[in-house]
Amino acid sequence: MTQSNVAEQPALRPHAEDAFADELAALADVDDRPRPARWRLSPWAVATYLLGGELPQGRVISPKYVGPRRIVEVAVSTLATDRALLLLGVPGTAKTWLSEHLAAAVSGDSTLLVQGTAGTAEESIRYGWNYAQLLAQGPSREALVRSPVMRAMAEGMTARVEELTRMPADVQDALITVLSEKTLPVPELGEEVQAVRGFNLIATANDRDRGVNELSSALRRRFNTVVLPLPESAEAEVEIVARRVGQLGSSLDLPPAPEGFDEIRRVVTVFRELREGVTEDGRTKLKSPSGTLSTAEAISVVTGGLALAAHFGDGVLRAGDVAAGILGAVVRDPASDQVVWQEYLEAVVREREGWKDFYRACREASV
């Protein structure tokens, strides 16, 4: 396959600005409100893009985030100031999803991204060097390799830093000068890069995963923190899972989720009950497993179930298609979690009306 043919193939996961280009263009056409410097849309239009709504002539904007409107409004208004935005929440609260769509709507580019890991180096935040040119010519602008943050500063764009608390503390602190002084010194060249209007930064973090490095108080003060909650109700979580599964399924040529979302509702119910340690009716206390059982994991379970139904079934999502995925999500620690899961199956699932097929499927998956 030639390089040109590879470039023509559809992306497995298009960037937000590409996947929703029509909606962004439709909003830009009707958006007559004031826009901050270098913003593609006004704050009102950015919030509408994220939360969904209906435009003149009946054009419908699909919701990208299902949650309290005020959270989105605070996040958008923060980016319109000189304060950076920190999206904080437990895994599965759509921090990365919201970050990507905010950058797409504000700057039209969500790709200025630094992915935080235990191995992330300071060069990812500041800058690096093309070592061939550095050895041949010494330090020069041509040999400088700009980080996504440096590019965003120079071009007045929105940079993203994912999983900030997974970075080592000294790498985190490389952001302090950027966020407080809006300047990135390059001492090797005797120069500095000053942020132009329009620059801002969105970071995401959680304090539930292992391997978390606490943010210093100096760095935390540079952010306006918005805490993203878990979905308030089962129906809201079912809607989120169904919407994301539909988007993922269409790109993977999977069958649509069945009408009524019965299996999705069961997956969400199991996750919520085990996560909260009590059944829906509040009558039975439950032990919680070691995993987070997040909304993101529920999306993965249902997507995997649809793949099973498509390739090894009749295309209809059934209990047997999601049972193995649920088992894998719940039983992370084979010793303790297996006991929690078996007790839940026998005390709750077995006795629940209309769940006999689900009980049998989960029992078979557990063998």
Percent of the chain residues topping a pLDDT of 90: 74
- CA angle, corner 340, sides to 336 and 345, nearest 5? 145
Class for domain 3-227, per CATH?
Answer: alpha beta
pTM: 0.88
Dmax (CA) of the chain: 75
Phi-psi region of 129 (alpha: psi -120 to 50; beta: other; left: phi over 0): beta
Rounded to a whole number of angstroms, the CA Rg of the chain reads 23
Domain ranges of the chain: 3-227, 234-366
C-alpha 323/C-alpha 302 separation (Å) is 10
CB of 191 closer than 8 Å to CB of 233 = no
Q: Write down the mean pLDDT value for the chain.
A: 91
- Composition of the chain by helix, strand, coil, percent to 5: 50, 10, 40
Q: If DSSP codes are grouped into helix, strand and coil, which group holds residue 328?
A: helix
Indicate the pLDDT class of residue 209, thresholds 50, 70 and 90.
low
Instruction: Average the pLDDT over 94-104 and give the result.
Output: 96
Query: Does an H or E element contain 205, and which?
Result: strand 200-205
CA distances in angstroms from 57 to 60, 93, 337, listed in the order given: 9, 33, 53
Cβ contacts of 301 within 8 Å, gap of 6 or more: 267, 322, 325, 326, 329
Query: Does an H or E element contain 223, and which?
Result: strand 223-227
Roughly what angle, to the nearest 10 degrees, separates helices 295-312 and 319-330?
Answer: 140
Q: If DSSP codes are grouped into helix, strand and coil, which group holds residue 114?
A: strand
- Tens digits of residue pLDDT in 132-163: 999 988 899 999 999 999 999 999 999 999 99
Sole residue written with tokens 């690096």: 128
Residue 221 has pLDDT above 70, yes or no: yes
CA distances in angstroms from 235 to 240, 280, 290, 296, 298, listed in the order given: 9, 12, 24, 15, 14
CB of 95 closer than 8 Å to CB of 206 = yes
Question: What pLDDT, on a 0 to 100 scale, did the predictor assign at position 357?
Answer: 94
Question: What pLDDT, on a 0 to 100 scale, did the predictor assign at position 230?
Answer: 87
Sole residue written with tokens 């649509």: 256
Q: If DSSP codes are grouped into helix, strand and coil, which group holds residue 135?
A: helix
Instruction: Average the pLDDT over 301-309 and give the result.
Output: 92
